[in-house]
Amino acid sequence: MSGTTLFVLNGPNLNLLGQREPAIYGHETLAGVEAACRVEADAAGFALRFHQTNAEHELVGWLHEARVGAAGIVINPAAFSYAGYPTYDALLMCDCPIVEVHISNIHRREEPWRAHSLMTKAATGMISGLGTHGYALAVRHIARLRGK
């Protein structure tokens, strides 16, 4: 991998982006998010690994792959943010920049539990509430950190 592969990882229910609660998450699909991330990754010279899962063990497996030598990780842990201790532990093992992304502003959501992501302590930084545009910004930020 040698610092040229960027992982963009997505947790549960994000496969329904564009259909699920569009008033909160918008109308863009995950395929559109991937396309935007590819543009930014290509511009920076990164190979892109873009994944979504509803199963936490798959997410942990991808984090293990990224653990040593990845250029960076952009992660929207979605509902794993609130109870995904295995994901959190796997993030702690990673030696690259990690940007946690949330499409909605988790601090303004009705449910108070949404404002407390376990992942934040493992992340280099967080983007919350900028819609799907937050993903491209996260990729661009990692590229900047890597001098690209």
CB 135 within 8 A of CB 36: yes
CB 46 within 8 A of CB 5: yes
Q: Of residues 25, 88, 135, 141, which has the active-site annotation?
A: 25
Q: Which residues of 73-82 are buried (b: 16+ CB within 10 A; e: fewer)?
A: bbbbbbebbb
| CA–CA separation, 148 and 139 (whole Å) | 11
Determine whether the annotation assigns residue 89 to a binding site.
Answer: yes
CB 79 within 8 A of CB 56: no
Q: Cα(first)–Cα(last) distance of the chain, in Å?
A: 16
Determine whether the annotation assigns residue 95 to a binding site.
Answer: no
Determine whether the annotation assigns residue 103 to a binding site.
Answer: yes
Determine whether the annotation assigns residue 81 to a binding site.
Answer: no
The answer to whether residue 25 is catalytic is yes
Q: Of residues 27, 64, 85, 102, which has the active-site annotation?
A: 102
Catalytic residue numbers? 25, 102
Pick out the residues of the known binding site for substrate: 76, 89, 103-104, 114
